Amino acid sequence: MDWKKLLCPRWYLIVLFVFISAVGLWFSFTHGMENSVLAYILYPFSFYSLVVCVIGLWDFWKKYFWPFLDRIPFFHNMVYDVKIRTMFFTRFSVVFNTLYGLLQVFYGLCYHTLWFITLGVYYILLIMIRMGLLRKVQTHEIGNNLKFEYKKYLHTGVMLLFMNLIVTGIVTLMFQEGRTFEYPGVLIYAIAAYAFYSLGLAIYGMISYKKYNSPVLSATRSVNFAGAMISILSLEIALLHQFGTNDPALFADHMVGITGFCMAIILTVMGVYMIAKGKKQLELLK
């Protein structure tokens, strides 16, 4: 069997497969045929269409689109220079977290609950930490002034310890008000989108920044990880409320309590480690 032809058909066949899958699934769902023979044929065929579509788009990207973007200095530097890429996404995170934090505070004021306000404060603190990492740090200086960067690294560890109190407060609020939270449709989608964005950013940072000798990049990685943890906790609480059983309080309390307790421990260990390492390195650099 020629796997290349199977996974990389002609572009017009890919368009045809996607069209058939979309129309077929729409017809099945709108006519109550989810468990029909037609639907069971369409499910694997739709998956195959999705796979060949993704492969086709990736091939198009490599052959045609990326060579064009690679000639543009901004995109070239974003791909090949990790320092420029890190500073860009850190600045982007400041803007994104600002909007998300304001959204949480807005809903907190509208629905008169400290739950959303506490989340908003947490994300605003993340903004302050990221802005502190960016302050007086230029892209070309990352990794060069280690003494200055380790001071920022140490300060970030202190802030993470302080933010551990916010995590504890969030879990406490869940126990106190968990039965009365209402998540508007727009907000729960925003929580889910932000959770996956934060998790992806944290994973990327863990993989990409480790090999670079820069305390600022390491601190950025830790901040991204802290943001991802609280966003996952927020999503867990939202889903437990939205899709829980008729009497979810005990189950929700146990789940959120365990998750929040583990996150508090992780944040504490991260903060203490960063403070200890920062102090040690600063003494060595004197």
pLDDT of residue 276: 92
User: Which of 254, 253, 119 is closest to 187 using CA atoms?
Assistant: 119
Asked if residue 163 lies in contact with residue 127, where contact means CB atoms within 8 angstroms, the answer is: no
Spell out the residues 6+ positions from residue 100 whose beta carbon is closer than 8 angstroms to its own.
123, 190, 194
Domain that holds residue 185: 81-284
Q: Of the candidates 71, 97, 122, which is a domain's last residue? A: 71
Residues 44, 111 within the same domain: no
pLDDT of residue 180: 46
Q: How far apart are CA 201 and CA 182, in angstroms?
A: 28
Residues 269, 183 within the same domain: yes
Residues 277, 173 within the same domain: yes
Residues 186, 206 within the same domain: yes
76 domain residue, yes or no: no
Q: Of the candidates 43, 71, 99, which is a domain's last residue? A: 71
56 domain residue, yes or no: yes
34 domain residue, yes or no: yes
Residues 28, 91 within the same domain: no
What's the domain count of the chain? 2
Residues 178, 138 within the same domain: yes
Residues 55, 130 within the same domain: no
Residues 64, 95 within the same domain: no
Q: Of the candidates 17, 51, 71, which is a domain's last residue? A: 71
pLDDT of residue 3: 66
pLDDT mean by block of 10 residues, the chain; 286 residues: 71 86 85 80 87 84 77 75 70 78 81 75 81 63 74 87 76 58 65 79 71 76 84 77 56 69 84 90 81
Residues 115, 211 within the same domain: yes
Q: How far apart are CA 216 and CA 205, in angstroms?
A: 12
Residues 182, 128 within the same domain: yes
- For residue 279, the surrounding DSSP H or E stretch is helix 249-284
pTM of the model: 0.65
User: Which of 275, 268, 267, 264 is closest to 156 using CA atoms?
Assistant: 275
| 267: Cα within 13 Å, side-chain hemisphere | 26
